[in-house]
Amino acid sequence: MTDTSRTPLRDPWRVPVNVAQIPETGLHREIEADAAVRKAMAEIAELREVISARASFDLTPKRDGRYRVTGHVHARIGQTCVVTLDPIENDIDEPIDLIFAPPDQIPEMADLVDDAEESSEETPDPPEPIVNGFIDIGRLATDALFLAIDPYPRKPDAVFESPVEAPDPEDHPFAALRALQEKPAGKKPKGK
């Protein structure tokens, strides 16, 4: 059976980092999406275009096989203003701060997160799984970019004004009753 969730269209920006090759001092990576990747990202996110997309990450080993990944995703995207329908461009600058852990540690760490939710302290995010010994920073950058997209973009000076119509006196809930009252009284049935 083929895993269709990993097709290039679904994950267009793939940059796997082997955790076994991350030194104890950590690893810094700068990545930039090429034109084909940006085009695929725009199709998936239903954007006019992804003009640029780049990210920087620091991967730092923690204890018990866990890794902290911090960084930023920077992008410029082309969208359509929801008010004027004019093309506009928006900048994205999204911070990233996640913990990755071996898959066998995820249930245990999820329980710790559940316990923390019951306290008054800020609840940490559950860790992300390290998949087959790799952390895919390209997919991480793509996810962060997609989550930062404004679903209702508008030009800075665009203002929606709903059309103003004079209320129709015949258009109200009791208009049908009034019409019945105004009808001339008809003949009464025989026998009454």
In a domain, 72, yes or no: yes
Q: Does residue 80 fall inside a structural domain?
A: yes
Q: Distance between CA 36 and CA 39 in Å, rounded? A: 5
Q: What is the pLDDT of residue 7?
A: 43
Q: What pLDDT sits at residue 30?
A: 98
What residues make up the domain containing 135? 4-148
- Is residue 36 domain-resident? yes
**Listed residue (62, 91, 99) closest to 74, CA to CA:** 91
Q: Read off the pTM.
A: 0.71
Number of domains observed in the structure of the chain: 1
Residues of the chain with pLDDT under 50: 1-8
Closest CA to 131 of 43, 19, 50: 19
Q: Is residue 185 part of a domain?
A: no
**Distance between CA atoms of 41 and 64, rounded to whole angstroms?**
34
Dihedral sign (CA 178, 179, 184, 190): negative
Does some domain include residue 51?
yes
Q: Is residue 157 in a domain?
A: no
What's residue 185's pLDDT?
A: 59
pLDDT at 69: 97
Residue 44 lies in a domain: yes
Residues 80-103 pLDDT 10s: 998 889 999 999 999 999 999 999
Chain Cα centroid distance, residue 69: 20
Residue 125, pLDDT score: 75
Query: Which structure tokens are listed for 132?
Result: 């087959």
Residue 81 maps to a domain = yes
What pLDDT is attached to residue 108?
67
pLDDT tens per residue, range 49-58 = 999 999 999 9
* Predicted local confidence at residue 112, as pLDDT: 55
Structure tokens at 164: 């103003």
